[in-house]
């Protein structure tokens, strides 16, 4: 009988079916490096048809499989389980169609997020969801995680930008959800698929909304004595009725890490926190908005407000923000990136609590987060070779999540549940909620073949 690997090679080609131990090593985990598991094989299909055939062969062989994009996920969503096959979509990286009149693009799942915006720029358009990992992560991964980013505050998360999907189900059948017009009748199955973390099907094509590049952008770097006053400023700005494109906070430790790294942007090392506030829209409206944000920030205790003079300075501010996780990689061998949401009104109080928890467990905790969305990222730098450190990291993480939920928040804003937060999902959902979700999953994958 032809072996499973031979059958997979016959579909995708020998070079696109990895089975050697050294090749598989890379696929043991995603950005969550705890608890790695080596898969049996990794296949890299190029088309919907190849994905469907691979899935059929795996199903017939009784093997579970896990879809994967760029592997930048931070919740273990692309982690294999023992014996599973990883189906990596990175070779399905073509932009199939751009229609500026309808402001849509049709893309394969392996298209890198930032590449899409670069490709449609000549039409005066961009793809709005912008995870900080956008230079590497893929649209397929973004759809699966319902990814957000700094500009989610004004433009919404991935779910607000996906109109239609093509998906391969566990039995190898190909299904189309939604419609490019955005007016598909019936159940909103695109809504169910976005954020399903690769548990109901493999996205093989996505029709996404494109957004006009705003006429004008103003980016402010606001300097605060501490992170709590920066959070207070965010509350004031939101309460004022302004809708900034982004409100991002970096705390003192994050500033120090960034300034010691290749992402250094001239942030003031003595500051307790900085707020990057971005406003976009018609040029004639922005001057007044900049003045209003400046006044509100000063009211909350800001010591200085720098307005980017040009595109180069604006890019510099964003380089600091988007490079922050990378910069933290220099602080210790390991980094645990947490993700939780709290009501914005509770930000000052919860940030103070999060810092207290980090201190109490004797951990190096830094915060860089989507403050406008109330989406926290407490990051813990540690060394897993010391078991006591890992134990404290996990205990502190649990306490942070419990604190956020008790404040009316949720256990993940954008990184997903994955393997990381399975044990915490009960903090936000009851048995009946979870049972209903499982029934939705069963409708697509009754044999639970997707991991």
Ligand X SMILES: Cc1cc2nc3c(=O)[nH]c(=O)nc-3n(C[C@H](O)[C@H](O)[C@H](O)COP(=O)(O)OP(=O)(O)OC[C@H]3O[C@@H](n4cnc5c(N)ncnc54)[C@H](O)[C@@H]3O)c2cc1C
The residues that touch ligand X, with contacts defined as CB under 6 A, are: 30-31, 66-74, 77-78, 89, 109, 131-133, 137-138, 140-142, 144-145, 147-149, 197-198, 202-203, 325, 414-415
State the nearest-atom distance from the C-beta of 158 to ligand X, in Å: 8
- Compare residues 221 and 324 and give the one whose CB is closer to ligand X: 324
For residue 286, give the DSSP letter: H
Structure token digits, residue 140? 């397929």
- Compare residues 40 and 133 and give the one whose CB is closer to ligand X: 133
State the nearest-atom distance from the C-beta of 209 to ligand X, in Å: 17
Nearest to 138 by CA among 71, 85, 210, 197: 71
CA atoms of 290 and 219, how far apart (whole Å): 9
What region, left, alpha or beta, does residue 178 occupy, with left being phi > 0 and alpha being psi -120 to 50 degrees? left
Please give the C-alpha separations between residue 351 and each of 249, 274, 360, 376, 393, in angstroms, as whole numbers: 11, 14, 14, 8, 17
CB 357, CB 400: distance < 8 Å: yes
State the nearest-atom distance from the C-beta of 383 to ligand X, in Å: 19
- Compare residues 205 and 226 and give the one whose CB is closer to ligand X: 205
State the nearest-atom distance from the C-beta of 270 to ligand X, in Å: 26
- Compare residues 297 and 324 and give the one whose CB is closer to ligand X: 324
- Compare residues 84 and 219 and give the one whose CB is closer to ligand X: 84
- Compare residues 39 and 149 and give the one whose CB is closer to ligand X: 149
Nearest to 32 by CA among 402, 339, 310, 425: 339
- Compare residues 145 and 218 and give the one whose CB is closer to ligand X: 145
Instruction: Report the greatest alpha carbon distance in the chain.
Output: 75
State the nearest-atom distance from the C-beta of 92 to ligand X, in Å: 8
CA atoms of 14 and 32, how far apart (whole Å): 29
CB atoms within 10 A of CB 105: 24
- Compare residues 77 and 372 and give the one whose CB is closer to ligand X: 77
Interstrand relation of 246-251 and 273-281 (parallel, antiparallel or unpaired): antiparallel
CA atoms of 153 and 445, how far apart (whole Å): 34
| Contacts of residue 44, Cβ cutoff 8 Å, sequence gap at least 6 | 12, 16, 17, 18, 88, 89, 90, 91
State the nearest-atom distance from the C-beta of 159 to ligand X, in Å: 12
- Compare residues 131 and 178 and give the one whose CB is closer to ligand X: 131
Q: State how far Cα 287 lies from the chain centre.
A: 32
Residue 288, classified by CB atoms within 10 Å of its CB into exposed (0-12), middle (13-18) or buried (19+), is exposed
CB 201, CB 297: distance < 8 Å: no
State the nearest-atom distance from the C-beta of 138 to ligand X, in Å: 4
Which long-range contacts does 427-432 make (Cβ < 8 Å, 24+ apart)?
427/401, 427/402
State the nearest-atom distance from the C-beta of 240 to ligand X, in Å: 25
- Compare residues 81 and 315 and give the one whose CB is closer to ligand X: 81
State the nearest-atom distance from the C-beta of 198 to ligand X, in Å: 3
State the nearest-atom distance from the C-beta of 148 to ligand X, in Å: 5
Q: What does the buried/exposed string (b/e) look like for 223-242 if buried means 16 or more CB atoms within 10 Å of the residue's CB? A: bbebbbbbbbbbbbbbeeeb
């Amino acid at each position: 009988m032809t072996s499973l690997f031979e059958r997979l090679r016959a579909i995708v080609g020998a070079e696109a079916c990895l089975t050697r131990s050294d090749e598989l090593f890379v696929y043991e985990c995603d950005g969550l490096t705890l608890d790695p598991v080596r898969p049996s094989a990794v296949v890299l299909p190029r088309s919907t048809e190849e994905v469907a055939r691979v899935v059929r062969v795996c199903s017939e062989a009784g093997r579970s499989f896990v879809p994967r994009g760029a592997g930048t996920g931070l919740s273990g969503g692309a982690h294999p389980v023992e014996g599973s096959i990883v189906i990596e979509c990175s070779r399905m990286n073509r932009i199939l169609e751009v229609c500026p009149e309808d402001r849509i693009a049709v893309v394969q799942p392996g298209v890198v997020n930032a590449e899409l915006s670069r490709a449609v720029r000549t039409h005066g358009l961009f793809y709005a969801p912008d995870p900080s990992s956008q230079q590497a992560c893929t649209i397929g991964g973004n759809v699966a995680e319902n990814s957000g980013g700094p500009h989610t505050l004004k433009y919404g998360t991935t779910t607000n930008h996906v109109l239609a999907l093509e998906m391969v189900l566990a039995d190898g059948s190909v299904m189309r959800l939604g419609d490019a017009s955005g007016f598909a009748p019936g159940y909103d199955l695109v809504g169910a698929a976005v954020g399903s973390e690769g548990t109901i099907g493999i996205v093989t094509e996505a029709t996404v909304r494109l957004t006009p590049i705003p006429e004008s952008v103003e980016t402010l770097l606001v300097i605060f004595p501490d992170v709590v006053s920066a959070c207070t400023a965010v509350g004031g700005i939101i309460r004022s009725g302004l809708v900034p494109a982004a409100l991002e906070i970096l705390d003192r430790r994050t500033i120090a890490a960034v300034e010691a790294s290749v992402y250094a942007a001239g942030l003031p090392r003595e500051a307790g926190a900085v707020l990057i506030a971005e406003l976009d829209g018609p040029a004639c409206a922005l001057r007044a908005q900049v003045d209003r944000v400046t006044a509100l920030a000063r009211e909350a205790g800001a010591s200085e407000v720098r307005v980017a003079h040009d595109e180069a300075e604006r890019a510099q501010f964003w380089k600091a923000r988007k490079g922050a996780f990378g910069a933290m990689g220099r602080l210790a061998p390991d980094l645990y990136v947490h993700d939780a949401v709290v009501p914005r009104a509770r930000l000052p109080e919860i940030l103070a609590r999060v810092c207290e928890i980090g201190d109490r467990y004797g951990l190096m905790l830094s915060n860089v987060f989507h403050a406008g969305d109330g989406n926290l990222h407490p990051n813990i730098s540690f060394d897993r070779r010391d078991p006591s450190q890992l134990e404290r990291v996990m205990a502190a993480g649990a306490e942070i999540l419990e604190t956020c939920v008790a404040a009316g928040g949720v256990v993940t804003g954008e990184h997903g549940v994955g393997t990381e937060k399975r044990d915490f999902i009960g903090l936000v959902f009851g048995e009946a909620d979870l049972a209903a979700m499982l029934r939705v999953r069963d409708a697509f994958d009754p044999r639970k073949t997707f991991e």
